[in-house]
Amino acid sequence: MNRPPLHHAASRRQFLRVGSSLLALPWLESLAGAAAATDRPRRMVAICNNFGFYPPSFFPKDSGENYAPSEYLAILNDLRNKFTVFSGISHPDIGGDHASESCFLTSAKRPTAPGFRNSVSLDFLASRHVAGAPRFPLLSLSTVDGGLTYTSTGAGVPPLTTPSDIFTKMFVTGTPQQMQAEIERLKRGRSVLDRMEERFGDLGRTLSERDRQQVADYTEAVRELEKQVQSDEGWAARPKPTIDAKPPTDSNERGDIVGRSKLMFNIIKLALQTDSTRVILLGTNEHNKVNVPELEIQHHDASHHGKDPAKIEQLSRYEDKEFETFSRFIAKLADTKEESGTLLDSTQVLFTSNLGDASAHSSFNLPVLLAGGGYKHQGHVSYGNETNKPLCNLYVRMLRQMGVDTDRFGSSDGVVEEIG
């Protein structure tokens, strides 16, 4: 998408640095939706693996609650009554290749088209309507650098990627001097936003109508950021939760995605358990062969298997590890007791990908698993493989489960009713 010239204003790099405060935002009552109070918090975790999963190893052959588990679902078999698998579901008119990743939670169409404009993502919208008051209503995380969260104007939000930094931000209370320094830092950030807004206003008078719309999008985001910074000042002086856990040791190997995912899952569990946040996104990428000598080719090469049995066998080793890691995460949520159930009962966890068949770069028939959240899970819900229902029909249902009164989101044309 073409950006307006910013030589009279703050640079886009500076804007994104300031914008990163969105990643762990304080709860804003002014942005809260009309969701009714509940006996326990409503929470959402969305996990995207942008290399997909080998379809025959993921999808069961039978539908309903008594399906025979596929290779990957067999890893989760002890938890099968706590999740539903969907097939025959995708985003319409997204197109293939890895550009579809940016539309994973938005469903904005044709991301490779000239002038593409993204839309608000599911996690961002849910964070604005969640009932309650956590310190951070939204955490946008990634094991790599690319973000999947988008604001109401379609602006991308850079993710937090370093587990130790995330842990410190959420659970380490500084000295009084450090807390005061944080408050002063936030005030300086607000001043930067004030200057940006003034400069955008001056710039807008010299631009075309299309460019003025681009600037309007930015200024709207600036106003939103300013409100968030103001509220963050109030939280800066409050103590953080006390937990019995040590800060994680970051993996030095950038490609150790399984290891980095484990660290992220541990932080996510602590964040939910302490009610420090209620909406979390985690993006993951390709693995490498770290400490796994039986893997002979890289994950990316294996995912483009071209139906080569040797490459598919290697791919299954990578993906088995992903499901083992995810299974342990879900089990921990299910084993964590709360006053009115378990942490999994109050947390809906979406585990899926932007690709249905990575080898063909196809975004048709996405692998979708929804766990927990207080749903009446139905095993395997199949919509058939000839045509796909919009994935956003499930997103509408997820928003309702968060207390959002809505009938539409993105490309939806209805709502998933099968899970109650």
Catalogue the E-assigned strands of 316-403.
337-338, 341-342, 347-352, 368-372, 379-382, 389-390
- HSE value, Cβ hemisphere, 13 Å, CA-based, for 290: 14
Q: Is pTM, for the whole model, over 0.85? A: no
In a structure prediction context, what are the per-residue pLDDT tens digits for the chain, which is 420 residues long?
333 333 333 333 333 333 333 344 433 333 444 333 446 789 999 999 888 899 999 999 999 999 999 999 999 999 999 999 999 999 999 876 778 889 999 999 999 888 888 999 999 999 988 745 677 888 999 887 778 999 888 888 888 888 888 888 777 666 666 656 665 665 666 665 666 666 666 666 667 776 766 666 666 665 555 555 555 555 555 667 777 777 677 665 555 667 778 888 999 999 999 888 999 999 887 666 655 667 778 777 888 888 899 999 988 888 998 899 999 999 999 999 988 899 999 999 999 998 888 778 788 999 999 999 999 999 999 998 778 999 999 999 999 999 999 999 999 999 999 998
- CATH architecture observed for domain 32-172+243-401: 3-Layer(aba) Sandwich (3.40)
* Per-residue confidence (pLDDT) for residue 221, from 0 to 100: 60
CA distance 67 to 193: 54
Task: Give the per-residue pLDDT at 217.
Answer: 64
Q: Which amino acid is present at 316?
A: S
Question: What pLDDT is stored for residue 1 in this prediction?
Answer: 39
What are the structural domain ranges in the chain?
A: 1-21+176-239, 32-172+243-401
Cα-flanking dihedrals φ and ψ of residue 83, to 5°? -150, 160
Give residue 170's pLDDT: 75
Query: Tokens at residue 22, please?
Result: 């969105």
Q: How far is CA 238 from CA 189, 228, 276, in A?
A: 19, 16, 13
Amino acid at 135: R
Q: What angle do CA 367, 368, 372 make, to 5 degrees?
A: 150
Q: Are 56 and 358 in contact (CB under 8 A)?
A: no
Say if residue 265 is exposed, middle or buried (CB neighbours under 10 Å; 0-12, 13-18, 19+).
buried
Q: According to the model, what pLDDT value does residue 37 have?
A: 40
CA distance 250 to 262: 11
At residue 232, the pLDDT reads 56
249 Rama sector, left if φ>0, alpha if ψ -120 to 50, beta otherwise: beta
Interior/surface letters 115-150, b for 16+ CB within 10 angstroms, e for the rest: eeebbbbbbbbbbbbbbbebbbbbbbbbbbebbbbb
Q: Are 124 and 138 in contact (CB under 8 A)?
A: yes
For every residue of 353-377, DSSP letters joined together read: -S-SBGGGTB-SS--EEEEETT---
Helix or strand holding residue 284 (H, E): strand 279-284
Closest residue by Cα to residue 338 from 242, 272, 280: 272
Torsion (CA) 161, 258, 121, 162 in degrees, nearest 10: -10
Angle at 20 between CA 19 and CA 26, to 5 degrees: 95
For residue 102, what are the contacts with CB-CB under 8 A and spacing of at least 6? 108, 111, 118, 148, 150, 156
Q: Cα separation of 152 and 127, whole Å?
A: 12
* 22 close to 151: Cβ distance less than 8 angstroms: yes
Q: State the Cα–Cα distance between residues 89 and 148, nearest whole angstrom.
A: 20
The rounded distance, in Å, linking the Cα atoms of 123 and 402 is: 11
